[in-house]
């Protein structure tokens, strides 16, 4: 229960709805109890009237007595009907208050979790799988809602109805009360176990279903590879196996589900039989009237659902507590990437890196070892290196996706930690290595980082990224949809749209992480020349495998296995005849031989 206390702030927020809900529950239960008493009175009245009807008929007043009798029965019937209608009305109001409250809390909780997700650092996303993140904001929140809605509603109903009904029953006949209620605890405990079994099996089905959907999704997104490797038959077979597992689990659930209502019916039936039997004995002994038996049968039926719900509510609360524990775990997650001074001063773009080392926290991979370099404001830095040499890691650290293990990064001679994180990132335009575009229009994708998008800026960014002509060739131009329901851009087009998105922000520092790999050298040159113009007074960091991308940079660093092995300008590095010169020669020779082959 303790984890669920966290939700009390929401219960307090919606206290109006909750209190109204409690009030309506009390009222609706009053309309449940009164009809049972009316039924007792009506039956006793009917039995008594019959016993005196004969003498009255013999006395010649038969017709008048019958008329009075029918009038009373009609009034009883009418009263019971009115009570039932009023009860229905108040049940409607209970749902309108408590269930609506639970939906509002669900909405707030989802927003709170999503906001928290957004504030957490990249390392959090590395640690937890997407499926887990999704499950906590959807399934877990739904389970918590079941506690806030149905569980609170039925729990409260139970708390109010139970004492009311039982005290009435005891006041009418304590012995009959004891016997008729005897099977109900058994009902509650059995429902609790059956329900737990149902939940356990439902969860297995859920897991099986998510495995199945992941499989189907992969089969669709990897359809090209699947077809190219002629694995269609294997794919069909694997799907059938996964489906079979899902079917088996569903059948197992159906078996337990089938127990639910028969169990309730059987135990209520036993209660009714006991009531009739013991009540009958008491009627024969002249201790009670017939009406009491009918009244008690109604009471037992009235208590059936609350008693059943006791088991059900307990299991909902248990599940909700487990879900809330998982949610709390994420809500309590601390963001260790913090700003020390929250500076929001204009960024010029000088970058100084001193003795920078970085080990990835989750794997312990030593990605950078004592790297030092400096690049003045408005200059271009080229970062060259083999795969896995730590180039992207430098970009990650410059954007404070992680903090260095040791050493420091200064921006304009101030520790990077002193800048407000959002402010710092707003000043950086980043083009990641693995391009990600949203399922939206091309225009909106380019405008993604701008608070107030402007058509001219978007178009200019597209021109500078050398993708404008491609875009206007589409019939809908900048309004062309991307993603699943839209068109698919080529690898090079995607990279250029991603560059346009970074340029459109007009950042003070631009980081291109190997984002020209899918464009030909001609386009690469066009983009680099355009960048030179637009980044005239701003700093650019160009990360690449290709020397051709970095050679125009004012300063070049060469990384190998996390270490900085050379740095200088293209000319000084070429003169040095080290790793850079070797790479340059290899790449230009390869380029020439390809060109001559063509």
Ligand X SMILES: Nc1ncnc2c1ncn2[C@@H]1O[C@H](COP(=O)(O)OP(=O)(O)OP(=O)(O)O)[C@@H](O)[C@H]1O
363 binds ligand X (CB under 6 A): yes
- Min dist. Cβ of residue 548 to ligand X (A): 15
- Residue 82 or 365: the one with the smaller Cβ distance to ligand X is 365
121 binds ligand X (CB under 6 A): no
Report the 10 Å Cβ neighbour count for 58: 9
Report the 10 Å Cβ neighbour count for 248: 13
365 binds ligand X (CB under 6 A): yes
Residues 120 and 138: their CA atoms lie apart, in Å, by 18
- Residue 297 or 512: the one with the smaller Cβ distance to ligand X is 512
Whether 547 contacts 541, CB under 8 Å: no
- Residue 298 or 356: the one with the smaller Cβ distance to ligand X is 356
Which span (191-199, 299-307, 310-318, 359-367) binds ligand X, by CB under 6 A?
359-367
- Min dist. Cβ of residue 381 to ligand X (A): 15
Which span (131-139, 182-190, 305-313, 356-364) binds ligand X, by CB under 6 A?
356-364
What are the structure tokens assigned to 506, written together? Answer: 């007009």
- Min dist. Cβ of residue 7 to ligand X (A): 34
CA 203 to chain centre: 17
303 binds ligand X (CB under 6 A): no
549 binds ligand X (CB under 6 A): no
125 binds ligand X (CB under 6 A): no
- Residue 126 or 231: the one with the smaller Cβ distance to ligand X is 126
Q: Which residue carries 């089938």 as its tokens?
A: 258
Pattern 389-408, ligand X, x by CB under 6 A = xxxxx---------------
Give the CA-trace dihedral at 95, 98, 99, 103, to 10 degrees.
Answer: 150
433 binds ligand X (CB under 6 A): yes
> Which residues ranging from 562 to 591 are in contact with ligand X (CB under 6 A)?
none
> Which residues ranging from 373 to 392 are in contact with ligand X (CB under 6 A)?
385, 387-392
- Min dist. Cβ of residue 385 to ligand X (A): 5
DSSP for 292-328 reads HHHHHHHHHHHHHHHHHHHHHHHHHHHHHHHHHHHHH
Whether 438 contacts 483, CB under 8 Å: yes
- Residue 308 or 389: the one with the smaller Cβ distance to ligand X is 389
CA 21 to chain centre: 28
- Min dist. Cβ of residue 125 to ligand X (A): 9
362 binds ligand X (CB under 6 A): yes
Residues 20 and 98: their CA atoms lie apart, in Å, by 8
- Residue 143 or 551: the one with the smaller Cβ distance to ligand X is 551
Residues 446 and 464: their CA atoms lie apart, in Å, by 12
Whether 209 contacts 246, CB under 8 Å: yes
304 binds ligand X (CB under 6 A): no
- Residue 141 or 356: the one with the smaller Cβ distance to ligand X is 356
- Residue 266 or 365: the one with the smaller Cβ distance to ligand X is 365
> Which residues ranging from 507 to 536 are in contact with ligand X (CB under 6 A)?
514
What are the structure tokens assigned to 207, written together? Answer: 């897991």
Whether 303 contacts 154, CB under 8 Å: no
Tell me which residue of 575, 537, 543 sits closest to 558, measured CA to CA.
543
Residues 287 and 173: their CA atoms lie apart, in Å, by 10
- Min dist. Cβ of residue 317 to ligand X (A): 39
Whether 201 contacts 254, CB under 8 Å: no
- Min dist. Cβ of residue 363 to ligand X (A): 4
- Min dist. Cβ of residue 549 to ligand X (A): 12
Tell me which residue of 228, 251, 564 sits closest to 382, measured CA to CA.
564
What residues line the site for ligand X (CB under 6 A)?
126, 360, 362-363, 365, 367, 385, 387-393, 433, 514, 545
């Amino acid at each position: 229960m303790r984890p669920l206390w966290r939700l009390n702030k929401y219960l307090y927020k919606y206290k109006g709805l909750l209190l109204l809900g409690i009030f309506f529950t009390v009222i609706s239960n009053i309309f449940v109890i009164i009809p049972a008493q009316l039924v007792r009175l009506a039956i006793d009245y009917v039995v008594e009237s019959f016993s005196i009807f004969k003498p009255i008929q013999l006395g010649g007043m038969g017709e008048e007595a019958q008329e009075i009798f029918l009038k009373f029965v009609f009034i009883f019937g009418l009263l019971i009907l009115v009570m039932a209608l009023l009860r229905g009305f108040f049940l409607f109001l209970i749902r309108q208050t408590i269930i609506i409250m639970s939906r509002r809390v669900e909405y707030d909780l989802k927003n709170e979790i999503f906001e928290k997700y957004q504030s957490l650092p990249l390392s959090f996303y590395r640690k937890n799988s997407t499926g887990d993140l999704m499950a906590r904001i959807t399934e877990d929140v739904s389970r918590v809602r079941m506690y806030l809605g149905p569980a609170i509603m039925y729990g409260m109903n139970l708390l109010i109805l139970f004492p009311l009904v039982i005290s009435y029953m005891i006041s009418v006949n304590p012995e009959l009360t004891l016997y008729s209620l005897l099977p109900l605890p058994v009902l509650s405990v059995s429902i609790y176990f059956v329900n737990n079994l149902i939940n356990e099996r439902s969860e297995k089905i859920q897991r099986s279903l998510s495995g199945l959907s992941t499989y189907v999704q992969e089969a669709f997104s990897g359809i090209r590879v699947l077809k190219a490797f002629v694995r269609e038959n294997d794919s069909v077979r694997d799907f059938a196996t996964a489906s079979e597992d899902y079917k088996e689990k569903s059948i197992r659930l159906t078996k337990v589900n089938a127990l639910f209502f028969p169990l309730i019916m059987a135990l209520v039936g036993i209660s009714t039989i006991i009531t009739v039997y013991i009540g009958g004995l008491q009627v024969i002994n002249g201790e009670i009237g017939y009406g009491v038996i009918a009244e008690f049968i109604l009471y037992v039926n009235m208590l059936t659902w609350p008693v059943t719900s006791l088991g059900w509510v307990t299991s909902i609360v248990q599940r909700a507590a487990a879900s809330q524990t998982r949610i709390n775990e994420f809500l309590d997650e601390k963001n260790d990437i913090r700003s020390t001074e929250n500076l929001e001063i204009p960024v010029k773009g000088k970058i100084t890196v001193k003795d920078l080392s970085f080990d990835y926290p989750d794997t312990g991979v030593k990605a950078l070892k004592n790297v030092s370099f400096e690049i003045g404001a408005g200059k271009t830095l080229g970062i060259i290196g083999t795969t896995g040499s730590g180039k992207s890691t430098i970009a990650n650290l410059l954007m404070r996706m992680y903090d260095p293990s040791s050493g420091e990064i200064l921006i304009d001679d101030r520790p990077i930690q002193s800048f407000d994180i959002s402010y710092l990132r707003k000043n950086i335009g980043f083009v990641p290595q693995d391009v990600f575009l949203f399922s939206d229009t091309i225009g909106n994708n380019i405008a993604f980082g701008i608070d107030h998008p402007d058509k001219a800026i978007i178009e200019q960014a597209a021109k500078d990224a050398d993708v404008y002509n491609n875009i206007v060739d589409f019939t809908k131009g900048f309004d062309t949809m991307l993603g699943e329901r839209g068109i698919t851009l080529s690898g090079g087009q995607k990279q250029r749209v991603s560059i346009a998105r970074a340029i459109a922000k007009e950042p003070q520092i631009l980081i291109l992480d190997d984002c020209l790999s899918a464009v030909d050298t001609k386009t690469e040159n066009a983009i680099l020349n355009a960048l030179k113009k637009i980044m005239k007074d701003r700093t650019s960091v160009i990360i690449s495998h290709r020397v051709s991308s970095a050679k125009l940079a004012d300063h070049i660093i060469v990384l190998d296995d996390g270490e900085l092995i050379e740095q200088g300008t293209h000319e000084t590095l070429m003169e040095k005849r080290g790793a850079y010169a070797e790479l340059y020669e290899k790449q230009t020779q390869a380029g020439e031989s390809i060109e001559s082959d063509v």
